[in-house]
Amino acid sequence: MLELGRLTILWGTLEATVNLAISKLAGYEKHIDPRALILIAHANFPQRLDMVSALCEHLGPIYPELARCATVVKAVEAAQKARNKYAHNAIVWDEERKHVTIAMASARGSLKTKVEVVHLNDLRETSAKIHEAMCAIHSLVTGQDVKPMWERDA
């Protein structure tokens, strides 16, 4: 449960960082300008990533450091996919077997169902992906080299 909580908090921070990136790339001075917030408040996450990509492409000739935007967006999308697995499926304690399972279903073309054991390391890896994506988008927008906490010097 603690790792699921960490994953959720990290995701919220990543979403806020993407919103900040849009605001800054669009030229707003405040961290979150009300005008930017109005424009992004009802956009879903993929739409917000599209905004970041389009703004980076538009600003690329002026700011060549934005050329790595596509790589950053791919990292954010990978974090989103990993997060969605746990955020949008049923996680259940299996009393008989004494472990946690996740039940997943997909109905694209045909119905596919799957139940698997949730391992703590998988949750930690997902949290790490989210944290790395957050650092990458922050670095992209600020120009500062922001490293994940486990890569920082003590």
**What's the pLDDT at 112?**
95
Average pLDDT, whole number, for the chain?
Answer: 92
Average pLDDT value for residue range 88-109: 91
Where residue 152 falls among pLDDT bands split at 50, 70, 90? low
pLDDT greater than 80 at residue 149: no
CA–CA separation, 145 and 140 (whole Å): 8
**What's the pLDDT at 114?**
95
CA–CA separation, 86 and 90 (whole Å): 8
Mind giving me the DSSP string for the chain? -HHHHHHHHHHHHHHHHHHHHHHHHTT-SSTT-HHHHHHHTT--HHHHHHHHHHHHHHHTTT-GGGGGHHHHHHHHHHHHHHHHHHHSSEEEEETTTTEEEEEEEE-SSS-EEEEEEPPHHHHHHHHHHHHHHHHHHHHHHH-S-PPPGGGS--
pLDDT greater than 60 at residue 32: yes
Percent of the chain with pLDDT over 90: 80
Residues 33-83: pLDDT tens digits? Answer: 899 999 899 999 999 999 999 999 999 999 999 999 999 999 999 999 999
pLDDT greater than 60 at residue 154: no
pLDDT greater than 80 at residue 11: yes
**What's the pLDDT at 33?**
85
pLDDT greater than 70 at residue 97: yes
Average pLDDT value for residue range 10-32: 92
CA–CA separation, 18 and 137 (whole Å): 7
